[in-house]
Amino acid sequence: MKTHFLSLLFLLLISMKAYSQAEFTISYSQSQTHVQVDENGYLEILVSDSDLEKFKNQAYVRYSDFGAVGDGKTDDQNSIVGTHAFANENSLNVKGDDEATYYIGGNDRKAIIQTDTDFGKASFIIDDRNVKNRTAPIFEVKSSLEPIKLEGIHSLKKGQNKLDLELDQAYLVTVSDTTVRRYIRFGLNQNNGYPQTDNFRIDKNGKIDSKSPIIWDFDQITEITALPIDKKTLKITGGHFTTIANQEESKYNYYSRNLLIRRSNVILDGIEHHVTEEGEHGAPYGGFITIQDCADVKVMKSIFTGHKTYSTIGRAGKPVSMGSYDLTVNRALNVSFINCSQTNDINDRTYWGIFGSNYSKNLLYDNCKLSRFDAHMGVANATIRNSELGHMGINAIGTGTLLVENSTINSGRLINLRSDYGSTWEGEFIIKDCVFKPNAGNVNQADLISGYYSGQHDFGYVCYMPETIKIINLTIEDSNHSPEYNGPMLFANFNSDRKDETYLEEFPYVITKKVILKNIKIKSGKQLGVSKNPVMFQKVEIEGLKK
């Protein structure tokens, strides 16, 4: 009898409690479970006692439990937000209804995901034609752990291996110095650069993970924050998402009505994203899947869609194509894309390349078929294996090791060092067991390592070519070439003005020291040349080049 009384008392206390957050309240002991909006625009999540007991017994909730209709017409966003808010508060999983099609209109409200979520076979329509906030995510995967400030750290050194700290667990550290500018962009989208930024992983004893090294000297620190790395894996599975594209003027007004992952240790498995109703103009997209400020994220067995390329006037006052992405990684470590593909042709040039990244480390493509791999403002260590890349190929600047293995590249360049950020890679390239199909086999030029560097622009750092380049077992499928094609080149013409040793670089380029070539097969029968600008690369030691 005593045990029964205590249980009733506990349920009574729970039913009297209203859980409040910034945009919603959760109230119990109601007659019917539903979600409504109050006079201030906040969500009221009302839960009956009988439903509360049922939900806890089954350990999950469905969107339909909180009023989602799922007919593809009724706006179900409030019900979806309310379902996740209740699930987070009660540590319950969330499931979609397999036969449902959830319509999500233009309201500025996001669902916070903090528990395992199975979208199942449910469909979601995200309508971007009339939105209140184009940068508000639809879902945000968020840690329940709070970041901490790190006190007493006033400087850092490149390659430093430990901080003098004792912590409760592992953290992702983000540090910045606003007095130093890096990535001062060159070209049609030129800018004045960004504050020096880095991120790295530390264990509870302050040891820095050698796979996420500090890449800059910080003589002073403006801000340093430590984000806890969740120990438990959060899983998000299934779901068929369709974005009805925005109809805006073609300007740099990026849309991010997406699935934003800002929690460490997450697996995203079996998601599918489509895009419809792209017209003659539209604003670009920042990534349907955006992974940001976190570590240890895997995206598996998923399908994405490249966005149509639109043009605008860039900062240099000239027309420029706008980057538009379905996959984006920012300030993140250890992010893997495994068994992923896209709905449209990876070699269709009317669609922009599907992936972009900034300030990230240890990125992986494994068994993917995607139009592009790209590191904008640097990457430390990247691997592409067992994959096929389309017309935009591999574009990278950064540090460490770039490994490309057992993959097919259909771009005009095997690897392109991005000229707008100084065509820089401080480290090495390893290319093994690959097939290079220049421009998907329609060849008029084929460069293995491409880029441009005039030596007259300050990017905010010393610019390097890879110190060593190893190319082993490479087949170049260039049989279908134009009459003017003279054969593949190891290096592109990085600077056509550098015709002799009298050329002066105000900001000198550090050229590759050594190239190792083994078993290079060229289907056209032509020889691999060094470059159309041999002066620039005359001191490079090249092992295995046929004369």
Task: Locate the domains of the chain by residue range.
Answer: 2-127, 148-228, 431-494+505-547
What residues contact residue 416 under an 8 Å CB cut-off, 6+ apart? 393, 394, 395, 396, 450, 451
Instruction: Evaluate if residue 444 carries a pLDDT over 90.
Output: no
Model confidence pLDDT, tens digit, residues 239-270 = 999 999 999 999 999 999 999 999 999 999 99
Q: Report the alpha-carbon distance of residue 434 to residue 449 in Å, rounded.
A: 14
> Is the pTM of the predicted complex or chain greater than 0.85?
yes
Segment 101-117 shows an average pLDDT of: 97
The residue behind tokens 């290319």 is 431
Q: Report the alpha-carbon distance of residue 68 to residue 76 in Å, rounded.
A: 5
Segment 381-385 shows an average pLDDT of: 98
What residues contact residue 470 under an 8 Å CB cut-off, 6+ apart? 428, 429, 430, 431, 432, 515, 516
Residues pairing with 124 in the sheet = 102, 241
Given this model, what pLDDT does residue 103 score? 98
Name which of 312, 311, 338, 342 is nearest 326 in CA terms: 342
Segment 324-348 shows an average pLDDT of: 98
Angle among Cα 87, 91, 94 to the nearest 5 degrees reads 45
Q: Report the alpha-carbon distance of residue 364 to residue 373 in Å, rounded.
A: 10
Segment 278-296 shows an average pLDDT of: 97
pLDDT band at residue 5 using 50, 70 and 90 as cut-offs: very low
434: exposed, middle or buried (C-beta count within 10 Å: 0-12, 13-18, 19+)? Answer: buried
H or E element that contains 51 = helix 49-58
Given this model, what pLDDT does residue 442 score? 80
Segment 320-343 shows an average pLDDT of: 97
Given this model, what pLDDT does residue 428 score? 98
Segment 405-431 shows an average pLDDT of: 97
Tell me what the pLDDT averaged over the chain comes to. Answer: 93
Given this model, what pLDDT does residue 315 score? 82
Structure tokens given for 37: 């909006």
Given this model, what pLDDT does residue 194 score? 96
Model confidence pLDDT, tens digit, residues 28-62 = 977 799 999 998 889 999 999 999 999 999 999 99
Name which of 61, 84, 80, 59 is nearest 69 in CA terms: 80
Segment 286-300 shows an average pLDDT of: 98
Model confidence pLDDT, tens digit, residues 475-523 = 999 999 898 899 999 999 999 999 998 999 999 999 999 999 999 999 9
Given this model, what pLDDT does residue 31 score? 79
Instruction: Evaluate if residue 136 carries a pLDDT over 70.
Output: yes
Segment 463-476 shows an average pLDDT of: 98
Instruction: Evaluate if residue 290 carries a pLDDT over 60.
Output: yes
Q: What percent of the chain lies above the pLDDT cut of 70?
A: 96
pLDDT band at residue 18 using 50, 70 and 90 as cut-offs: very low
Given this model, what pLDDT does residue 546 score? 82
Instruction: Evaluate if residue 21 carries a pLDDT over 70.
Output: no
Model confidence pLDDT, tens digit, residues 299-312 = 999 999 999 999 99
Q: Where are the beta strands (DSSP E) in 203-307?
A: 223-228, 234-244, 259-262, 266-269, 272-276, 286-300, 303-304
Structure tokens given for 498: 């550098």
Q: Report the alpha-carbon distance of residue 159 to residue 163 in Å, rounded.
A: 12
Q: What percent of the chain lies above the pLDDT cut of 90?
A: 88
Given this model, what pLDDT does residue 302 score? 98
pLDDT band at residue 11 using 50, 70 and 90 as cut-offs: very low
CA 250: distance to chain centroid? Answer: 23
- Range with lowest mean pLDDT among 16-25, 113-122, 322-331, 388-397: 16-25
